[in-house]
Every structure is written in C-alpha cells, then in structure tokens.
Amino acid sequence: MKKHYLLTPGPTPIPPEVAQKESLPILHHRTSEFSKIFMNVSESLKEIFQTKNDILITASSGTGTMESAVINLLSPGDEILVASCGNFGERWIKIAEAYGIKPTVIQVEWGKAIKPETIEEALKANPKIKAVYTTFTETSTGVVNDIEKIGSIVASTPAVLVLDAISGLGGQKLLTDDWKVDVVVAGSQKGLMLAPGLAFVSVSPKAWKLVESSKLPKFYFDYKKYKKSLEGKTTPFTPAVTLIVALEESINMIKAKGFENVLKDASLLASAARAGMKALGLELFAEIPCEVVTSAKVPEGVDGGKIVKKLREEYGVSIAGGQGKLKGKIIRFAHMGYIGKADLLVGFACLEMVLSQLGYKVEKGKGIAACEEVLLKGEAPVPANAGV
Amino acid sequence: MKKHYLLTPGPTPIPPEVAQKESLPILHHRTSEFSKIFMNVSESLKEIFQTKNDILITASSGTGTMESAVINLLSPGDEILVASCGNFGERWIKIAEAYGIKPTVIQVEWGKAIKPETIEEALKANPKIKAVYTTFTETSTGVVNDIEKIGSIVASTPAVLVLDAISGLGGQKLLTDDWKVDVVVAGSQKGLMLAPGLAFVSVSPKAWKLVESSKLPKFYFDYKKYKKSLEGKTTPFTPAVTLIVALEESINMIKAKGFENVLKDASLLASAARAGMKALGLELFAEIPCEVVTSAKVPEGVDGGKIVKKLREEYGVSIAGGQGKLKGKIIRFAHMGYIGKADLLVGFACLEMVLSQLGYKVEKGKGIAACEEVLLKGEAPVPANAGV
C-alpha cells in the first residue's frame, strides 16, 4: 500500500504511457514491425544526443556502455587521460585498469568541477594520449563539467573525447556535435524516463578510426557488430524488446512537449531545488551544480543516512544520499525526466519534516516557500554557481 | 490491428500477468522492497536451475552471459574444448577467439547431436583442457545433447563443464547439480516467459576456483562483483528493475503450476509438433529433437523463407526459419513457456494453408489431426529420436 515518490537520479519515474508500452504483447525482434520501431528510436535518439552520428543501443546498464567505450577504442599500451570529479569519473579509471590500461588521472576534489585547462596541460604534456574520458553531470556530487570548453580543447588534438552522459542526457543541454564530443554514453533510466536495461552510445568518425584499429578484446559490446546490424535495421543480439518499444513512447512524449521545454523544466526545477536547500540552511555541495540532480551538505550533527531512510520509510519519498566517501555527508534530489514541480515540493515538504524529526532546527514551510517563489517566477534566480 | 501468434524460440509469449508487472511504477533498486524481490528471484531461480549454486543475474542478452562464462573462467593461453552442433555452439568458438583463446573444436554436422564419447576422447587426448563449452538445446537445429552423460564424463576430469542452456532452461529437464554442470547460462525470454534483457548464470564451487584465478579482462560481467553484491542482497550495477519485478511473477506462475508440469507440457507439445510435421510429410531435422523447439526440413521446391514470411504477414503467426547455413532449409516451431496446446494448433493450421499456397501438396487438416491425437492422448507416442 505504500505510495512511492521517486526523486532519485536513476531510476527516475516512468510515465504511465511509457510503462504501459512495456506490457504490450511482445514482438519478435526479427520482424519488420520491430525493425520500424527500432529504427525510429535509433534516429530519434540522434535529436536527443544532438548528433549526426549513429547511436548504438545495447541491452545493459550504463556501466556496460562505459566499458564498451574503453574496449572499442583502445589497444594494449595505449595512453589515456581520465578527468574525474566523483564516483562515476573513478569508474573510468577502474574499467581502464581492468584492461591493463594505466590512465593519466586528473582528480579534483569531490564537489568541485574539472578545470578544462588542466586537460589542455595534460594533453600538451603527453601528446601520445589517444582518448580523454570524463563525465558530463557527475551524479555522485551533482557537479556539471564544462564540456563545451573541454570539447574544443580535445578537438584541437589527435585525442578523442569520451563522455559519460548517463545521468545528464535528456536532462541538461548537451550538444554532442557542436561541442565536439566524439563518444557519448547514456542510459535509459534517467532523462529518457524509462526503466533501466538499455544503454546508448554515439560514436564520431574521429572515434570510429580508433574502433577500426582497437585491439582490446570484446564480443557482446563490439561496436562493429552493432554498426553492421544497424545498417541492416536490426541488432546483433536479441535486444531488450519491451524497453525499446517503451522508449519509442517516451521519445514521442519528449518530442510532443518539445525537447527545449524539457530542458527548461529541468533547469527551473534545479533552480528551485537550490533555493529550497539554501532556505533550509543547507549548504549546496556542488561547485557548479548540474540541472539533473541537486546536492546539499547534511547539517552538522545530523546523520545523512537517516534522512534518506526516514524519507523513504515514513513518507515513501526516495532521494539519494552520498556515495563512497560522501556516504552520510550529502543528500541529493533529482529533477529530470518525469519529475515535475509538484514532486519537488513533496520532496522538500517531507525533507522539512524529517529534518525536524532528526532534531535539526527548521522553520517549517521555509524551504517550500523558496521553491514556490522560483517555480512561480518561472526562471532561475539562483545562479548556477551558487555553491561556490 | 494485426493479431500476433508467437511460436518462436525467443522471445516467447509473455503472460499478461507478467507483462502487467513490467508496467508497475518503478522501484528504486537500493531499497529493501526491491532487495526482497531480487533475493526471492535469485533463490527461486535455483529451483529452476536445480542447483544449490548461486545464480548471478546480469542486465544483458544471453550472448553477454555466454561471454561472461569465457572471461570469468579463463586466462590467456588456457586450453578449452568447444563441442558444437549448431549456430549457438559456434558462438562459443567466436567468443573464445575474440579473447585470443584457440579452442579445440568438436563440430558435428548441424542437425546431429554431440556424441559424449568424443568429448571423453578429446579430454583424454589433451589433459590440459580446463573447460568444456557446449550447448543444451541447440536452438538453431532443434537438437538436444545428452548433458547427463557429458556431465559425468567432464566431472571425472579436472575440467569444468559450461553449458549454454539459454533456450532450454525452464522448458526441458535440466538437473544442474545432479548432472554435474559447473556453469549454466540462461536467458529471460525463453521458458521463463519474460521479455529479453536479463541473463542468468550458475557457477559451481569447482568453476569458482577458475574464477578466482582467471586473468582475462572484464568489468561489467565480473562474477566476483555480482557474487559480492549478492551477499549484500543487491547488484553491482543498476539492474533491469522492471524485468526482475516481472520475473518474480513468472516464477510464481511456474511454481503455482508446478515446475514438473511445465516440463511435461513442453514435452507433450514437442511430441505433438513432431507428429504434426510427419503427418504433413515434413522430415524432422534434429537427430535427437529437444522439447523446446521442433525443426523440420522444408520440402523440395518450397522456399523456407517464404513459409516464415507468409505465416507472419498473412496470418500473424511468427515461427523461426533456418539460421546461417540452414537459411531457407528448415522451419522451427517453439513450444515452451507460455505457448499452449491451442497455440500449436493455430501454428499448424496456418502452416497447412501456407504450404498449400506455396504449391506443396498438403491434405488439409492432416497435420492438425496428428497434433490433436497426441494432445488428446496426453503422452508422447512419437519417440524423441524420431528424426534419425
């Protein structure tokens, strides 16, 4: 009987129209009916990615696609740069190391953003670097990196730029081609308002040259197999049929609303969330906050884990806590995809109650009031770098 | 408006009760609610696998899990044996080769079964073989291999037995522990009556020793990560939540019917299908036919591709044709999971019409009559080795 309110950065809530499609009688994947849906989805994703590159679709979590972007581009002994600002940035390092690739690492303090000039310096210092792996919106800290700047830096070198946009795609402006991002990996359970189980990757012609010469071993995630199958309007292995059918619906919903409007909404909600946190006296955690998830420091003397637990258990509200070294230290509210204004207000109202229950002095209604102000104004009065 | 009848060996039809679960509001995967479902599914799968070993669940197609059973057990330079009798047996070879492993290969003619003694001889000839990779029900030809015998042979050596049971699990008797199968890989879209997107693997203690020492690179499919997470009642990466929730329902349905009865039904349908094919004058293709899919040779002068196409386009009936070198040469009817007696009759009735349309002399109703005879009798009068 418990009613759930999902304010987590993946999975995010699924619109009923999309969820219903998941339960339609299953189509066989080697039919013209499915092929039409698959190609429609593949083409439409290009608009979401803002790219002319093909989008390859795998049945996997986002991490599987991150791995695919390592094993399809690199060969043993290759030098790469990982610019990391959080838990998911570190995943690039772990994946590379699992394949015997020792990356040069730019590691900024969690909560800070990557300074594009440090990437420029690293590439100058080592012209043998073939690929730069980094993160768009770092889900674990709530930071967004300046990919436009990083893209222009990497594009002027022989290296390719590989971006984990798993939590950001569909929730925050990302111009794959204009910003010269060679490889973008993304997942289904974020801004695309779908269940987890599908992942996507766009590959530029510059990156495809690395694919051609890559010697790291692979089979299930082999881009060449996906590209060849895509030319035949199909997939190399049995696809996650019901998720792809549902994805067509969620893309249709995004198109009907207008992708620009979807991004504007996420931006407005992010702004409201920042205002709400500040009004409650919670310090924003991200140096440059992204628009898909807002992070704030847990007040002195309060256990962050308890906030998350009480919200879920007593009110059915799921938010995220801190990961890894941030465990118990921050809380995170997502506001992308099918999370609306009212959902955010529910989250803040219950947060006020839980903080109060945990002994933190909170003026009830103050966080909500600040959110309302921003939402009513319909624009973003709290600057995006308010956390500095 | 077209009504679909799915008689393909994956995806198979999904019961509405299961499909509905896919469309429930999504749960967050790091909650006690989801954890409970995940652990229930993980434990229940042991009954389907007939094993005491842990079952690891990945978000992927079956091929991903096949790859996992190569990269988690082996190290560079390892010697393995692949015993192949069809398209999916050959996949083991391709995956191994992608990782620089050159397998010793036993390759029998497609349509024939693997002779267990050839495996015995190969293991005697090369005691360095660490693992034997083979297939349970070879979907591409409709053959079942004698895994009980093969299991006892391999168990008496230091090698482990790795079985692709993707199309067979849940549709034909497979006693993982009793038959001493060390690693069994399976998928969601066959006998488990679910959409594709989940895959499963059971790993014996003997095989786990290879996991401990394996040096092939891996990350997303790393068994150690899944095992460690399973101990914490969770998954290492975001799982395909909606599919796991739906899987709980399909397992409940299997339990309610009784797993033994599910297998008996598939066996009866297989018997009816064989009788139907013979009555229509179609020669069975498999030397030892399995119970999840029945294959028959396309009559002289008839284009097998056209049979499949016309069945689908004119009657909405999806069956499978031949793969690879069998393209156009055989047709395949699946009868596992949520495919019932009436579905099989629909398939045969429409097959009679299509064969007639394609100029093959067919006495209308004769195939159906033979199916009915078997179904009414409720036991299997056509011996399983009828195709010899």
User: Looking at chain B, which residue has its C-alpha nearest residue A57?
Assistant: B60
Q: A151-202: per-residue pLDDT in tens?
A: 999 999 999 999 999 999 999 999 999 999 999 999 999 999 999 999 999 9
Judge if A148 and A245 occupy the same domain. yes
Residues of A whose CB is below 8 A from B218: 98
User: Looking at chain B, which residue has its C-alpha nearest residue A29?
Assistant: B11
More confident residue, A289 or A383: A289
pLDDT at position A384 over 70: no
What is the sign, positive or negative, of the torsion defined by CA atoms of B122, B124, B129, B134? positive
Domain count, chain B: 2
How far apart (Å, rounded) are the C-alpha atoms in residues B8 and B285? 17
How far apart (Å, rounded) are the C-alpha atoms in residues B347 and B105? 37
Q: Which residues in B220-230 are b (16+ Cβ under 10 Å) and which e?
A: bbbbebbeebb
User: Looking at chain B, which residue has its C-alpha nearest residue A318?
Assistant: B28
What is the per-residue pLDDT for B379?
62
Judge if A288 and A221 occupy the same domain. no
How far apart (Å, rounded) are the C-alpha atoms in residues B104 and A342? 62
Judge if B141 and B93 occupy the same domain. yes
More confident residue, A383 or B6: B6
Record: contact B11-A28, CB cut-off 8 A: yes
Q: A358-374: per-residue pLDDT in tens?
A: 999 999 999 999 999 99
* Residue finishing a domain among B255, B287, B303: B255
User: Which ipTM did the prediction report?
Assistant: 0.94
Record: contact A95-B14, CB cut-off 8 A: no
How far apart (Å, rounded) are the C-alpha atoms in residues B265 and B253? 14
Element (H, E) at B152: helix B147-155
* Nearest by CB: A23 against B20, B94, B196: B20
* Closest approach of B181 to chain A, Cα-based (Å): 24
Q: Give start and end residues of each alpha helix (H) in chain A.
A: 16-22, 32-49, 62-71, 87-98, 116-125, 147-155, 205-213, 223-231, 241-257, 259-279, 304-315, 341-357, 366-377
More confident residue, B139 or A379: B139
Q: Is residue B6 included in any domain, yes or no?
A: no
pLDDT at position A383 over 60: no
Q: Write the CB contacts of A64 (distance below 8 Å, at least 6 apart in sequence).
A: A58, A199, A221, B59, B60, B64, B220, B237
Q: A83-104: per-residue pLDDT in tens?
A: 999 999 999 999 999 999 999 9
How far apart (Å, rounded) are the C-alpha atoms in residues A307 and A351? 8
Record: contact B99-A22, CB cut-off 8 A: no
Cβ neighbourhood burial of B234 (10 Å; 0-12, 13-18, 19+): middle
Instruction: Tell me the residue type at A364.
Output: K
| A245 touches A21 (CB < 8 A) | yes
What is the per-residue pLDDT for B89?
98
* Nearest by CB: A99 against B16, B60, B217: B217
Judge if A351 and A330 occupy the same domain. yes
* Nearest by CB: A196 against B10, B100, B241: B241
| A204 touches A160 (CB < 8 A) | yes
Residues of B whose CB is below 8 A from A237: 61-64
Record: contact A64-B237, CB cut-off 8 A: yes
Judge if B205 and B294 occupy the same domain. no
Record: contact B237-A63, CB cut-off 8 A: yes
What is the per-residue pLDDT for A201?
98
What is the domain-level CATH number for residue B50? 3.40.640.10
Residues of B whose CB is below 8 A from A63: 219-220, 237-238
Which residues of chain B register pLDDT less than 50? 381-388
Q: Is residue A388 included in any domain, yes or no?
A: no
User: Looking at chain A, which residue has its C-alpha nearest residue B321?
Assistant: A30
Q: Is residue B9 included in any domain, yes or no?
A: no
Record: contact B220-A4, CB cut-off 8 A: no
* Closest approach of B377 to chain A, Cα-based (Å): 31
Judge if B170 and B243 occupy the same domain. yes
Q: Is the pTM of this model over 0.90?
A: yes
Element (H, E) at B373: helix B366-377
Judge if B251 and B263 occupy the same domain. no
Q: Is residue B33 included in any domain, yes or no?
A: yes
Judge if B184 and B313 occupy the same domain. no
What is the per-residue pLDDT for B97?
98
Record: contact A242-B10, CB cut-off 8 A: no
Q: Is residue B3 included in any domain, yes or no?
A: no
* Residue finishing a domain among A205, A227, A255: A255
pLDDT at position A380 over 70: no
Q: Is residue A111 included in any domain, yes or no?
A: yes
What is the domain-level CATH number for residue B278? 3.90.1150.10
User: Looking at chain B, which residue has its C-alpha nearest residue A24?
Assistant: B19
How far apart (Å, rounded) are the C-alpha atoms in residues B251 and B158? 34
How far apart (Å, rounded) are the C-alpha atoms in residues B71 and B185? 13
Residues of A whose CB is below 8 A from B31: 312, 318
Q: Is residue A233 included in any domain, yes or no?
A: yes
Instruction: Tell me the residue type at A111.
Output: G
Judge if B126 and B249 occupy the same domain. yes
- Give the full edge-to-edge strand order of the sheet including B320-321: B293-297, B330-334, B320-321
Cβ neighbourhood burial of B369 (10 Å; 0-12, 13-18, 19+): middle
pLDDT at position A385 over 60: no
* Closest approach of B304 to chain A, Cα-based (Å): 16
* Closest approach of B5 to chain A, Cα-based (Å): 10
* Residue finishing a domain among A211, A229, A255: A255
How far apart (Å, rounded) are the C-alpha atoms in residues A327 and B168? 43
Q: Is residue A237 included in any domain, yes or no?
A: yes
Instruction: Record the tokens describing residue B299, joined without a space.
Output: 């009559």
In sequence order, what DSSP letters do the residues of A11-28 get, joined into one string?
A: S----HHHHHHHTSPPPP
Residues of B whose CB is below 8 A from A10: 238
Residues of B whose CB is below 8 A from A57: none
Please name the residue that has the structure tokens 């509200």: A317
Interface test with B, best of A220, A235, A318, A339 (most B CBs within 10 A): A220
| B135 touches B145 (CB < 8 A) | yes
Size of interface A-B (CB pairs under 8 A): 176
Judge if B248 and B274 occupy the same domain. no
What is the per-residue pLDDT for B378?
86
Judge if B278 and B249 occupy the same domain. no
Instruction: Record the tokens describing residue A347, joined without a space.
Output: 């989250």
Judge if B217 and B304 occupy the same domain. no
Instruction: Record the tokens describing residue A76, joined without a space.
Output: 């043993």
Domain with B359 in it: 258-377
